[in-house]
């Protein structure tokens, strides 16, 4: 009895710790041509809610898919119905509909692999993407102090002083936001990007590399971008800023972009939300300033 009580106490004490997660993706797989949830799927969703995998206030995205079997139109409709059925079941089980920020069907998953009459079971699915944190955006933290070995380089906190940095220096771009698991720039980011644009206009010799980083992924070099259905989120976010600057008239030869996924974390072991925010960022690297 004492062991049982201790186990229960242990679970209650650690529950908030377990709840401090980032973005998790849960997959439900369907049979050919089926959009309705079976008992196994319902049990899995019940378990997600019961075990706090979907917390109160979590932002949830539901994305449906189909394989190549059937017509393009049918597959699109099937993927939408699958997503809508999952949403309906979540709402029925007290997930706030307002917290479901997206529910859509992507249709057929494109593949180069040889097609078979069985199709691709992994493509007949719905992804439930759960954001169990306040904001799943790129929100950089205060710039890391320059190591002593780089005493010749300057550390700045104001984007207007970007031209003071030497080649090789890195500046963490603050106040640039993206929707969860997407690369589209949010409107509140444009004030910062306008400052970056102004610095580049005022310093025509300045060349930069725009570098994206993500957090909270396992067994993948980069995070999934649900707008492209490709695991290239850090690259796409950096490219979106690159495209914005080019559209404003900055010479593309002065700009580069790349994504590092989670290969260069500031905090190797992400435990707290602050750890994840430090890793989820966009940086500006100075290529040339002369």
pLDDT for residue 19 is more than 70:
no
Residues 280 and 176 in one domain: yes
Q: What is the CATH number of the domain that holds 210?
A: 3.30.1330.60
- Asked if residue 190 is part of any domain, the answer here is yes
Q: Count the domains in the chain.
A: 2
The pLDDT of 49-56, averaged and rounded, is: 80
Residues 96 and 186 in one domain: no
Residues 197 and 230 in one domain: yes
Give pLDDT tens digits for 221-272: 888 888 888 889 999 999 999 999 999 999 999 999 999 998 999 988 878 8
- Asked if residue 4 is part of any domain, the answer here is no
**Residue 125 to residue 87: CA distance in whole angstroms:** 14
Give pLDDT tens digits for 55-75: 878 889 999 999 988 898 999
- Asked if residue 187 is part of any domain, the answer here is yes
Residue 140 has a pLDDT of 43
Tokens of 114: 């040889």
- 210: β partners: 257, 284
Q: Is the pTM of this model over 0.85?
A: no
Cβ(139)–Cβ(123) under 8 Å?
Answer: no
Residues 196 and 270 in one domain: yes
Residues 25 and 113 in one domain: yes
Cα 283 to Cα 99, 116, 144: the distances in Å are: 30, 44, 12
Enclosing domain of residue 88: 20-131
Residues 169 and 276 in one domain: yes
CA 253 to chain centre: 28
* Residue closest to 266 by CA, chosen among 166, 180, 156, 139: 139
Lookup result for tokens 């995070």: 223
């Amino acid at each position: 009895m004492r062991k049982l009580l201790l186990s229960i106490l242990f679970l209650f004490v650690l529950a908030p710790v377990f709840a401090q997660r980032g973005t998790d993706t849960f997959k439900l797989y369907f049979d050919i041509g089926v959009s309705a949830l079976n008992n196994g799927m319902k049990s899995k969703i019940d378990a997600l809610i019961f075990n706090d995998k979907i917390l109160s206030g979590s932002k949830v995205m539901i994305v449906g898919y189909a394989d190549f079997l059937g017509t393009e139109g049918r597959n699109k409709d099937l993927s939408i119905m699958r997503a809508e059925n999952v949403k309906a079941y979540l709402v029925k089980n007290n997930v706030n509909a307002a917290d479901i920020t997206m529910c859509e069907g992507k249709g057929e998953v494109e593949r180069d692999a040889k097609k078979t009459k069985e199709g691709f079971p992994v493509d007949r699915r719905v992804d439930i993407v759960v954001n169990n944190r306040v904001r799943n955006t790129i929100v950089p933290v205060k710039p890391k102090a320059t190591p002593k070995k780089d005493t010749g380089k300057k550390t700045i906190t104001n984007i207007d002083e970007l031209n003071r940095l030497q080649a090789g220096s890195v500046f963490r771009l603050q106040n640039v936001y993206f929707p969860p698991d997407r690369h589209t720039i949010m409107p509140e980011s444009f004030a910062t990007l306008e400052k970056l644009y102004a610095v580049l206009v005022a310093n025509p010799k300045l060349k930069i590399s725009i570098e994206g980083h993500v957090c909270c992924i396992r067994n993948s070099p980069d995070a999934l971008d649900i707008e492209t259905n490709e695991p290239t989120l850090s690259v796409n976010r950096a490219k979106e800023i690159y495209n914005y600057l080019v559209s404003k008239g900055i010479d593309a030869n002065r700009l580069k972009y790349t994504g590092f996924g989670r290969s260069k974390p500031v905090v190797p072991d992400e435990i707290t939300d602050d750890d994840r925010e430090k890793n989820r960022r966009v940086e500006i690297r100075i290529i040339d300033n002369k």
